Amino acid sequence: MRFLSTLPLLLGAAFALPSPEDIQERATGSLSSWLSSENTVALQGVLNNIGAGGSKASGASAGVVVASPSKSNPDYFYTWTRDSALVFKALVDQLIAGNKSLEPLIQQYISAQANLQTVNNPSGGLCSGGLAEPKFEVNLTPFTGAWGRPQRDGPALRATAMIAYSRYLIANGNTSAVNNIIWPIVQNDLSYVTQYWNQTTFDLWEEINSSSFFTTAVQYRALVEGNSLATQLGKSCPNCVSQTPQVLCFLQSYWTGSYALSNTGGGRSGKDANSILTSIHVFDPAASCDSTTFQPCSDKALANHKVVTDSFRSIYSINQGIAQGSGVAVGRYPEDSYYNGNPWYLNTFAAAEQLYDAVYQWKKIGSISITSISLPFFKDVYSSAAVGTYASSTTTFTSIINAVQVYADSYMSIAQKYTPSNGALSEQYNRADGTPLSAADLTWSYAAFLTAYNARANVVPASWGASSAKLPNSCSSGSATGPCSAATNTNWGNPGTPTTSNPTTTTGGSCKTTPTSIAVTFNEQKTTSYGENIYIVGSIPALGNWNTANAVALSASKYTASNPVWSVTINFATGTSFEYKYIKKAQDGSVTWESDPNRSYTVAGNCAGTATENDSWR
């Protein structure tokens, strides 16, 4: 900065001055070329770790993210709900930015999660806490070993990823896929959050069971955008509405006065990249520098950035000699001892990303405000910083924007320095010499690069409604139990009622393409009480071979008091015949059958590829 501000004195008016962008470009030329090659490596690195086709994910089901291909020291060949959701959120943002080829994979992820929600696991079942199970085997069977569970950020992050894709589908005229396929899955995750947000959780590092800043923040975000999505679909999420202000209120309680306490338990300082990750994952490009939602440019988030990054300056040898105001290697938290405690690529990228986001926000808003809370942050990059508001027309504004941009780049340069020449990103790099450590090809490391890269390029994610934040007068704890039932429609090929503008028959009456399978929607009228669920069971494997444990759940997402309809859509090969019945399962698992005789059904072919069967309980 001193260089920039003294330039006019050195050169005087006789020379045309290089623009700040020119200076920056010269300083970062080698960074720019690394970033663009690493961008290709990182996207491929993500794709390699996703089943079924990923070259390093053999054995993983379609749409399933393997945390890392590493099968020992450490064994990360599992699928984590958190890692997967963050990875797919990044892929949805790439889709929105124009990479259309990612869409089938995104749909496979969502289908896989619909299935995964129903897998009973050590944290519980679909409607009894199981959504916060942290990880599963890559073939979607439960992981039954000891682990830090539950981890309550998972359902919220998954909802956020699916909602991001939902917005895209709605904007592109495919609301039916959102209604029929995605909403039932999202609704379960939202219900999980409204029910459990006020209970302790293992943190994102899977170590401490207390309240976690990151978890609370991403839960708040999910409820806000979940409710907006419901409204857009003509549905509602009353429990989102009732719990949202309380979650936001609770979020404020983590502030210590100079940084966000990442975990309320665990006996640590609480300085933790948990909070930097929070600011980038609640970033809303339409928001102001609001500190209640911890926006990247807010005074609290910037003060926190300094405290957390400074906590690593003196403890890692590779950070020795790096001046304040220049980026360093960033780990999880200073007390970390996992692999002796090292910097992580994803946290180093996050430290850069927060600053790129902040620059975006300041430019959009047209001013920078420095408060007594954020002053120490600003002084590191601009020594004459003083409390005040600086409009975009001022030189102070321009100088700070340039300084923060350079500061952000310096974190990327640190990551560059410790990335091997093939671009591979493991989980950690050694605190003493920077060599890669722990899990190789960590999917989340690659995704974290992609999001930081886009933030630098001003390719920002969609707004999620942070501006609606409104704190209640006082905080109270809370819980609201909401709708929960298995989401079984994953028929992307034909997700909704065919529209008349897209006729499926030719004028001669034959099908344009003859469907070989039909998506049959079963609607069953049955008034139920809270805790009761309706299933379909029948004589073929797809209907559980009359085994009630394998019956297919219907969804109550269309259920109202005046029209108590349960429904599910199931694909069958054309010509299949079977017998079936509906059953009711009570909360304690007891089963009530419909009366005899069995119902029967034959799947007739048709051009649209869909059929509807309306029944009522007997």
Q: How many residues does the chain have?
A: 618
Per rule CB under 6 A, is residue 617 in the interface with ligand NOJ? no
Choose the binding region for ligand NOJ from 9-17, 43-51, 203-211, 212-220 (rule: CB under 6 A): 203-211
The distance in angstroms from the start CA to the end CA of the chain is 78
Would you say 566 and 554 are in contact if contact means Cβ atoms under 8 Å apart? yes
Rule CB under 6 A: is residue 207 a binding residue for ligand NOJ? yes
| Residue 204 interacts with ligand NOJ (CB under 6 A): yes or no | yes
Report, in Å, the least distance between residue 67 CB and ligand NOJ: 4
What x-and-dash track marks residues 386-425 binding ligand NOJ by CB under 6 A?
----------------------------------------
Give the binding range for ligand NOJ (CB under 6 A) out of 201-209, 269-277, 498-506, 543-551: 201-209
Which CB, 299 or 336, lies closer to ligand NOJ? 336
Q: Shortest gap between Cβ of 358 and ligand NOJ (angstroms)?
A: 24
- Is there binding between residue 431 and ligand NOJ (CB under 6 A)? no
Smallest gap from residue 138 Cβ to ligand NOJ (A): 13
Judged by beta carbon, residue 265 or residue 503, the one nearer ligand NOJ is 265
Nearer to ligand NOJ among residue 78 and residue 411 (C-beta)? 78
- C-alpha span between 555 and 533 (Å, rounded): 8
Catalytic residue (choose from 83, 203, 225, 524): 203
Residue at token pair 């620059």: 359
Our CB check for ligand NOJ shows the closer of 137 and 206 to be 206
Amino acid symbol at 262: S
596 is catalytic: no
**Known catalytic residue at 25:** no
The Cβ-side half-sphere exposure at 532, using a 13 Å CA radius, reads 16
Q: What is the DSSP pairing of strand 533-538 with strand 577-585?
A: antiparallel
Among residues 7, 115, 122, 206, the one that binds ligand NOJ under rule CB under 6 A: 206
Beta partners for residue 26, in sequence order:
none
The answer to whether 166 and 186 have CB atoms below 8 angstroms apart is: yes
Exposure of 481 by Cβ count < 10 A (0-12 exposed, 13-18 middle, 19+ buried)? middle
Min. distance of Cβ 443 from ligand NOJ in angstroms? 8
Say what angle helices 213-232 and 238-252 make with each other, to 10 degrees.
Answer: 150
β-pairing verdict for 577-585 and 388-391: unpaired
Taking CB atoms, the residue at the shortest distance from ligand NOJ is: 338
Beta bridge partners of 583: 535, 593
Give me the catalytic one of 137, 206, 207, 579: 206
Shortest distance, position 112 Cβ to ligand NOJ, whole Å: 17
What is the CA angle 351-357-359, rounded to 5?
105
Q: Rule CB under 6 A: say whether 492 interacts with ligand NOJ.
A: no
From candidates 205, 254, 360, 453, binder to ligand NOJ by CB under 6 A: 205
Q: Please report, as residue ranges, which positions from 43 to 82 form the binding site for ligand NOJ (by CB under 6 A).
A: 67, 76, 80, 82
Beta bridge partners of residue 32, listed in sequence order: none
The footprint of ligand NOJ on residues 321-360 (CB under 6 A) is 338
Taking CB under 6 A as the binding criterion, the range among 55-63, 115-123, 199-207, 543-551 that sits at the site for ligand NOJ is 199-207
Question: Looking at residue 17, what DSSP letter applies?
Answer: P
Q: Which C-beta is closer to ligand NOJ: that of 209 or that of 481?
A: 209
Number of helices (H) and strands (E) in the chain: give both, helices first. Answer: 15, 16
Footprint of ligand NOJ on residues 81-140 (CB under 6 A)? 82-83
| 183 marked as part of a ligand binding site | no
User: Helix, strand, or coil here: 130?
Assistant: helix
> Smallest distance, Å, CB 151 to ligand NOJ?
8
Q: Can you tell me the distance from the alpha carbon of 311 to that of 443, in angstroms, rounded to the nearest whole number?
A: 26
Q: Which residues pair with 263 in a beta bridge?
A: 212
In this complex, which beta carbon is closest to ligand NOJ, that of residue 204 or of residue 486? Answer: 204
- Reduced to 3 states, what is the DSSP secondary structure of residue 231? helix
Cβ pair 535, 583 in contact under 8 A: yes
Choice between 425 and 543, CB closer to ligand NOJ: 425
Question: For the purposes of burial, counting CB atoms within 10 Å of the CB of 41, is it exposed (0-12), middle (13-18) or buried (19 or more)?
Answer: middle
CA nearest to 346, candidates 438, 277, 270: 277
Total interface residues for ligand NOJ by CB under 6 A: 11
594: alpha, beta or left? (left if phi > 0; alpha if psi -120 to 50): beta
Which residue stretch of 20-28, 204-212, 228-236, 601-609 sits at the interface with ligand NOJ (rule: CB under 6 A)? Answer: 204-212
CB of 347 vs ligand NOJ, minimal distance in Å:
10
Smallest distance, Å, CB 540 to ligand NOJ?
Answer: 38
Per 3-state DSSP, what percentage of the chain is helix, strand, and coil (rounded to 5)?
Answer: 40, 15, 45
Q: If residue 574 lies in a helix (H) or strand (E), which one and from where to where?
A: none
Q: Which residues are annotated as a binding site for substrate?
A: 147
Looking at the annotation, which residues are catalytic?
203, 206
Residue numbers of the site for ligand NOJ (CB under 6 A)? 67, 76, 80, 82-83, 204-207, 338, 444
